[in-house]
Amino acid sequence: MRNALVTGAAARLGRAIARELHRDHRVVIHYRSSGNSARELAEELNGIRAESAVAIQSPLGNKADCEALATEAMAQWGGIDALVNNASAFHPTPIGEATESAWDELVDSNLKAPFFLSQALAPSLARDHGCIVNMADIHAERPMPQHTIYCAAKAGLVMLTKSLARELAPDVRVNAVAPGAILWPEIEDELVDSDTQAKILSRIPMGRTGREADIARTVRFLVSGQDYITGQVLAVDGGRSLNI
């Protein structure tokens, strides 16, 4: 059985991805602060199949954190075959109000950590012809108002995906998933009020938000058996990127 590491896997999309990959992987559930949720998920998955899930904490704030997480993850079952870089900070940074700490938080979580985790795990991934899936965003190409830093970081993650796909080939495949409107952000109410939601929904050709399962199944599609797909960014957005 192959082994997957999913960052930010204690809640929301990461949790759904971990559950989906657990169908045919052992899963390392990374968390930063949601320890109870991560351990509950590990217990749930271990109840389905013994010794198939573990929760590991890391702030992923610097290169050393990433290397320590990689080392601990690889030690669980002898290596990592799939890395899903899902952990992500998300909040607005209007011009004139953005701070350096906001820059660091958004760039570190969305770009720096995926790079250094990928670098640390590259030998294990290459040995077992594994793969990396990065969680990008449709706004990496089409900017979201008041989110300049976040969009820039996700744009960097898209280029990281393509660059790593070229550099790590043919032993490691690297792709990205770009979600559209799946879950409303857990941030300031004014960004997700009913009027804002209605405006977003009106511009989605499929007429609804997506489901966590839509993203999780797409990640599993890229991880399991698609050995001729690399360097691609797959939008899962109900057609939203056609009408931004």
Which one of 10, 74, 150, 153 is the catalytic residue? 150
Query: Would you state the structure tokens that stand for residue 45, as one six-digit string?
Result: 């998955």
Residue 165: CB partners within 8 Å, gap ≥ 6? Answer: 173, 174, 175, 230, 231
The CA distance from 11 to 185, in Å, is: 13
The CA distance from 120 to 56, in Å, is: 16
Provide the residue count of the chain: 244
Interior/surface letters 171-208, b for 16+ CB within 10 angstroms, e for the rest: ebbbbbbbbbbbbeeeeeeeeeeeeeeeebeeebeeee
Would you state the torsion angle of the CA atoms of residues 14, 140, 143, 206, taken in this order, to the nearest 10 degrees?
A: -60
Say whether 228 is catalytic.
no
The CA distance from 114 to 1, in Å, is: 24
What is the SS3 string spanning 61-91?
CCHHHHHHHHHHHHHHHCCCCEEEECCCCCC
Give me the active site residues, please.
Answer: 150
